[in-house]
Amino acid sequence: MLDEGQRTAIFELQKKGASIRQIARALGISRGVVRKVLRSGTTEVPPLTREEKGESYLEQIRELYGTCEGNLVRVHEELRALGCDLSYPALTSFCRRHGIGRKPKPPAGRYHFEPGQEMQHDTSPHTLWVGGVRKAVQVASLVLCYSRLLFFQYYHRFRRFECKVFLTAALRYFGGSAGTMMIDNTHVIVLRGTGAEMVPVPEMEAFGGHMGFVIQAHEKGDANRSARVEGPFSYIQRNFEAGRRGEDLADWNRQAVDWCDHYANVKVKRALGASARELFAAEQPCLRPLPVYIPEVYLLHHRTVDVEGYVRVDTNAYSVPSPVGRMLEVRETRDRVVVYEGPHIVAAHAKVVGERNRRVTDPAHRPPRGQGHKTREKQAAAREVLRVVPELADYVAELGRRGRGYAPRLFRRLLQMIKDYPREPLLAVLAEAAQYGLYDLERVERMVLKRIGEDFFYPQSGGDDA
């Protein structure tokens, strides 16, 4: 069938005085076709009036499509049973033309972003070789919409804690923050609602306010709105992950940063005519500066020291020097587990990631017999006494060995006596007590008071007042 361009050429050649034979030779068509077009008198292509084979079965095909749950193979079998001589390819094309089983795809929109205006965040499940074993992980990605600068990391799971850890690392990598972060209604960040009605979790909203961005979500089903971050997941899977191995996720994340620095962000993008790094040079001055101080992200736990002297986080046990039954504060960061007793750090361990029921022991928390916590406390109290009165070394050693009661408490009481009473009578009494093997501080204190009374206080005379 001739198209409108060929039909128009026929009429134009006729106006120039060309014969039917000349027109047919010039256009490579038959003279009969030329005559037919000239008799029609119009350049419009006449519509086809041929009836399709499936036209008379249109209602049956619609009904069978629902009955067969959208399986066109089964629809074709049922039509053959009804006597319809229609091939399977003809059936599928017929269904496409009549909109059976598919909706026409709307044209994709185009979004324009100014430098520093928006960044997009999302996650995707991937499978990696970790330590020689295939493991399912979550890859989190953040992309600046103007320059397309990419940053991504891997996590065994992705909770609100991992989300804040990732965003902190990503914004440090960018050196700033865009004004808006677009998400896809993920439950990690969303409290309720979708799209423009989305309300973020207060914790994440406060985090965004501290880092300089506000959180927005695209409308449900509007995947094109987050295309800047959706596209790189396939790119990462086909280019970065293909044939790559890692000892653990920390190794994978180091390789990911190196790949972003030396490949993904420096490769010239054909659609942009420049690399992400080149465009980022123009976008970086427009980013919002990060806070002067960014606190380390941690997950807070309260744990009781078990009978073996450990606290547990995610089924893994970490040793502590504190007594059994003591309630401690445990801060789980990205790489460490830090244990606090009040305001003081009492233990810090490398975090076990991706494993369960592991036991992590610091040798300092399990000293040899006789060098435990009580021994160290006793030695510290004795050193405090000798720092003030070094000449009492022998008496302090015997007091710790032969004194009745908890040795550190005895040393603290002796130190208080040294502070309260004059040095000379006290030392004289302690020398006498050591001579007779007396290490009862109650009796020693009475002896000191008696010695002080005899040496420093005298009875008044009965004479008249002056």
Write down the residue that tokens 């979500």 correspond to. Answer: 217
Q: What is d(CA 389, CA 370) in angstroms, rounded to the nearest whole number?
A: 26
Predicted local confidence at residue 452, as pLDDT: 83
Q: What is d(CA 404, CA 330) in angstroms, rounded to the nearest whole number?
A: 38
What DSSP assignment string belongs to 352-379? P-S--S-EE--GGGSPPTT-SHHHHHHH
Interval 292-305 mean pLDDT: 94
| Nearest of 423, 432, 392 to residue 410 by alpha carbon | 392
Predicted local confidence at residue 463, as pLDDT: 47
At residue 122's C-alpha, the angle toward residues 120 and 125, to 5°, is 155
Enter the pTM of the model. 0.65
Predicted local confidence at residue 345, as pLDDT: 93
pLDDT tens-place string over residues 362-378: 988 876 655 555 666 67
Given a cut of 80, is residue 122 above it in pLDDT? Answer: yes
Instruction: State percent of the chain over pLDDT 90.
Output: 47
Predicted local confidence at residue 185, as pLDDT: 83
For residue 264, the 8-state DSSP code is: I
pLDDT tens-place string over residues 324-336: 899 999 999 999 9
> pLDDT confidence of 429, banded at 50, 70, 90?
confident
Q: What is d(CA 169, CA 154) in angstroms, rounded to the nearest whole number?
A: 12
Predicted local confidence at residue 103, as pLDDT: 74
Please report, for the chain, the start and end positions of each structural domain, with discontinuous segments joined by +.
Answer: 4-40, 55-97, 118-286, 299-365, 373-456
Predicted local confidence at residue 223, as pLDDT: 73
Predicted local confidence at residue 152, as pLDDT: 97
The CA-based dihedral angle spanning residues 72, 77, 78, 81, taken in that order and rounded to the nearest 10 degrees: 160
Q: What is the CATH number of domain 118-286?
A: 3.30.420.10
Predicted local confidence at residue 377, as pLDDT: 66
How crowded is residue 389: how many other Cβ atoms within 10 Å of its Cβ?
17
pLDDT tens-place string over residues 305-319: 999 899 999 999 999
| pLDDT higher at 54 or 145 | 145
Max avg pLDDT among 37-51, 144-158, 386-400:
144-158
Interval 389-417 mean pLDDT: 83
Whole-number average pLDDT of the chain? 87
Q: What is d(CA 238, CA 466) in angstroms, rounded to the nearest whole number?
A: 109
Interval 186-205 mean pLDDT: 92
Instruction: State percent of the chain over pLDDT 70.
Output: 92
| pLDDT higher at 373 or 159 | 159
Q: Which helix (H) or strand (E) holds 162?
A: helix 160-174
pLDDT tens-place string over residues 13-67: 899 989 999 988 988 999 998 898 888 888 888 876 667 777 888 888 888 888 8
Interval 8-13 mean pLDDT: 90
